[in-house]
């Protein structure tokens, strides 16, 4: 009876979550089932609305999120008619084709209404309605623009990931939609999926290393494939991480500002969900930074292993066993001469040069006995492994960047990331943008919105603070002992690197405003 009671409670408690997962599939099957049956007396029933629906969602995701633009109906109509001509060989009058395209688009957006999914709630014991949209519209300057909803993106991702795009990027686009629509609970699930993808890439990296150590050629191919699949997306993934982190921070500020007008339960519930989302996002950002560092390390490991394998191939080795087997196969024992003859070739007769007699007569003997000089060798106590050297380099770079920021704030009290980048570029050159430690520093720095040197020296809270205190000089610690600063995120997206578009690698980062606090 107890097990049956638990089963029934699980069925009732999990019903709402299961319905929320199912509802995003409902519009697809409604559209698939009866879209063309009543239009023009079934004239276009040979068209596949399921295929058209998925193709339309892919088009909207590509334009809205990859190209960051909302589309007009004319742009969608051009895409749809091209698809119908190419895939279904549609050949009708121009007016009838446009009428068909408008009919399909109206069905996709359900005439501007949400698809209503009716279900029974066993906890409240009544029928309920869940609404879901695939396409939404906005009006700007008198023109209607269309974009895909978070439910539409999530449904498309569940069918299969987007080809030739980073899975982490796609999930981050969905996360952005979730945050903007205040669906923080759904955003937590998305961040956890991103974190699982990052951990999966880490595990794949370890598999590549193991393969390199056993099968060099297969490992080299796997390493090249892994680098091609992951490394090319790192800059874009970091940009989206910073963007979503800024959105979460704004959501926290908004929730705190609205807390006065909300009930206590609603206020604590909303802030708790946003806080959990922020925590999960910080974990994922840190894990992603580790993946970037490990991927760079993988490239070095691969080069070293391949280089050693090449040297082993060039080493002169004669295999007697294989040679003997070949002689058996050819049945030519006389060829043993070529193997054995070199072994008997060395001459064992020794001779003494007459010219050395003069040297013997003039040689002065040393009557003193000399003891053997024994050099005492001490262990190299400062030996460091490669990963320790990498940690040391990262720590020094973090401390240097932190000190540079404090120095600017000491002079100006307020500085933006754009201004600080300009100073770093003058001081260190444009190579600063090619150093991954610079981006890792900004990601770790954005983990908190306030820093105080006094509090850091008492008890460092984060890995960044520990590394800064470990590697910062005593003079700088004393100089900035009473200083601190706060961080706010701006709305501007900065292109970092050379201003010339032909030289720039197209990396963007959200602007940050640093303001001095303390004495």
User: Which tokens sit at 494?
Assistant: 């900065």
Q: Do both 393 and 513 map to the same domain?
A: yes
pLDDT computed for residue 424 by the predictor: 81
pLDDT tens sequence for the chain (519 residues):
555 656 777 787 777 777 777 877 888 888 887 778 778 888 888 888 888 988 898 888 878 766 777 889 999 899 999 999 999 898 888 888 889 988 888 888 888 888 888 888 888 888 888 888 888 888 888 888 888 887 777 777 777 654 445 566 666 666 776 677 676 777 777 777 777 777 777 787 788 877 777 777 777 777 777 777 676 666 666 776 777 777 777 777 777 776 655 555 555 667 777 777 778 778 777 777 777 777 777 777 777 777 766 666 655 556 677 777 778 878 888 888 877 777 776 666 666 666 666 666 666 665 555 555 655 555 455 556 666 777 788 888 888 888 888 888 888 888 888 888 888 877 777 777 777 888 888 888 888 888 888 888 888 888 888 888 888 888 888 888 888 888 888 777 776 655 544 444 556 777 788 888 865
At residue 447, the pLDDT reads 82
438 and 514 housed in the same domain: yes
Query: Which of 99, 131, 160 delimits the end of a domain?
Result: 160
> Is 46 inside a domain boundary?
yes
Tally of structural domains, the chain: 3
Closest among 224, 70, 243, 238 to 166, alpha carbons compared: 238
496 DSSP β-pair partners? 507
What's the CA gap between 90 and 130, in Å, rounded? 36
- What's this model's pTM, rounded to 2 decimal places? 0.41
Rounded to an integer, what distance in angstroms lies between the CA atom of residue 107 and that of residue 27? 10
Residues 143 and 232 grouped into a single domain? no
Domain-located, residue 3: no
86 with 147, same domain?
Answer: yes
SS3 165: coil
In this structure, the answer to whether residues 117 and 239 fall within a common structural domain is no
Residues 515 and 29: their CA atoms lie apart, in Å, by: 54
Out of 160, 192, 226, pick the residue that ends a domain. 160
Q: What is the reported pLDDT for 163?
A: 47
């Amino acid at each position: 009876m107890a097990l049956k009671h638990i089963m029934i409670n699980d069925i009732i408690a999990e019903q709402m979550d299961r319905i929320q997962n199912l509802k995003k599939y409902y519009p697809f099957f409604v559209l698939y089932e009866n879209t063309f049956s009543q239009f023009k007396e079934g004239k276009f029933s040979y068209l596949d609305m399921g295929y058209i629906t998925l193709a339309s969602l892919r088009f909207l995701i590509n334009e809205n999120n990859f190209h960051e633009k909302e589309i007009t109906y004319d742009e969608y109509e051009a895409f749809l008619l091209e698809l119908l001509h190419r895939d279904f060989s549609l050949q009708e009058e121009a007016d009838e084709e446009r009428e068909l395209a408008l009919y399909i688009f109206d069905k996709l957006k359900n005439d501007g209404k949400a698809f209503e999914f009716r279900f029974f709630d066993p906890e409240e014991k009544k029928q309920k309605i869940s609404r879901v949209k695939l396409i939404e519209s906005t009006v700007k300057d008198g023109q209607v623009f269309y974009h895909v909803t978070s439910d539409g993106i999530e449904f498309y991702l569940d069918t299969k990931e987007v080809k030739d795009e980073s899975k982490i990027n796609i999930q981050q686009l969905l996360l952005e939609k979730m945050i903007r629509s205040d669906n923080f609970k759904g955003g937590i699930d998305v961040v956890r999926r991103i974190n699982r993808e990052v951990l999966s890439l880490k595990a794949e990296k370890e598999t590549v290393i193991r393969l390199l150590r056993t099968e060099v050629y297969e490992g080299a191919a796997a390493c090249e494939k892994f680098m091609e699949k992951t490394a090319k997306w790192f800059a874009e993934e970091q940009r989206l991480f910073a963007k979503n982190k800024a959105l979460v921070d704004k959501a926290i500020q908004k929730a705190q500002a609205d807390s006065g007008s909300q009930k206590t339960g609603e206020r604590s519930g909303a802030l708790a969900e946003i806080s959990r989302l922020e925590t999960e996002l910080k974990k994922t950002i840190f894990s992603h930074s580790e993946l970037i560092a490990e991927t760079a390390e993988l490239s070095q490991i691969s080069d070293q292993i391949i280089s050693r394998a090449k040297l082993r191939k060039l080493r002169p080795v004669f295999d007697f066993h294989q040679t003997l087997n070949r002689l058996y196969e050819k049945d030519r024992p006389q060829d043993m001469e070529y193997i054995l003859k070199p072994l008997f070739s060395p001459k064992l007769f020794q001779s003494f040069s007459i010219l050395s007699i003069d040297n013997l007569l003039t040689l002065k003997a040393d009557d003193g006995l000399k003891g053997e000089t024994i050099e005492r060798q001490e262990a190299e106590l400062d030996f460091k492994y490669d990963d320790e050297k990498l940690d040391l380099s990262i720590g020094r770079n973090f401390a240097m960047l932190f000190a540079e920021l404090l120095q600017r704030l000491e002079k100006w009290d307020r500085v933006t990331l754009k201004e600080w980048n300009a100073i770093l570029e003058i001081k260190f050159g444009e190579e600063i943008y090619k150093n991954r430690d610079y981006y890792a520093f900004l990601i770790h720095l954005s983990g908190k919105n306030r820093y105080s040197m006094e509090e850091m020296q008492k008890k460092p809270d984060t890995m960044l603070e520990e590394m800064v205190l470990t590697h910062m000089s005593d003079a700088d610690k004393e100089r900035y002992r009473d200083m601190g600063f706060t961080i706010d995120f701006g709305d501007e997206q900065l292109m970092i690197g050379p201003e010339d578009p032909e030289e720039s690698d197209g990396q963007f980062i959200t602007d940050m405003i640093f303001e001095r606090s303390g004495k």
